[in-house]
Amino acid sequence: MGTFRVMRQDDNGNRYLVAKGLDRPEAERLAAEYEARGHKQLYWVEAEDSPER
């Protein structure tokens, strides 16, 4: 079982690390919390061993 990170992408296509070192349920909860706030950005969860884009 690995660790996960939450990423976001802004309106200009820039990608940022929001949080890392989380278990999957916590990462999913955090991403959903940011989405629920109505930010006009895309949030997602990915495994930390995934290459950054």
**Predicted confidence (pLDDT) at residue 19 exceeds the cutoff of 90:** yes
Mean of pLDDT values over 11-40: 92
Dig out the tokens for 17 from the structure.
């690390």
Per-residue confidence (pLDDT) for residue 35, from 0 to 100: 87
Per-residue confidence (pLDDT) for residue 51, from 0 to 100: 63
Which amino acid belongs to residue 2?
G
The verdict on residue 52 lying in a domain is no
The verdict on residue 11 lying in a domain is yes
Count of structural domains within the chain: 1
Per-residue confidence (pLDDT) for residue 50, from 0 to 100: 64
Contact 17, 31 (CB under 8 A): no
Q: Domain residues for 33? A: 4-47
Query: Which is higher by pLDDT, 5 or 40?
Result: 5
